[in-house]
Amino acid sequence: MAYKVIEPETRKLVCNKCQQELVLAEAEASYLGAKFEIELMKCPKCGLVYVPGSLATGKMEQVELSREDK
């Protein structure tokens, strides 16, 4: 159900607080009334989400602009 928006992560990312490796999981994104699910790397314990730069400046920005009517 969640959109696959990132490339498979080759790095080993570790949540500093929980000392747990981040895993691919569902995250909820929302902006100006629109909500949807995307797959991102998340800490299985505290839920910390990693948003990569390419996503933020790419598709996320496009969705933000489409919601804003900019």
Q: How far is the CB of 37 from another protein (least distance, A)?
A: 10
In the complex, minimum distance from the CB of residue 44 to another protein, in angstroms, rounded to a whole number? 13
DSSP 33: T
Interface residues with another protein (CB under 8 A) are: 3, 5, 11-17, 22, 27-34, 36, 38, 40, 47-51, 53, 56-70
Q: Which two tokens stand for residue 41?
A: 């790397």
Burial class (CB in 10 A: 0-12, 13-18, 19+), 24: middle
| Shortest Å, Cβ 12 to another protein | 4
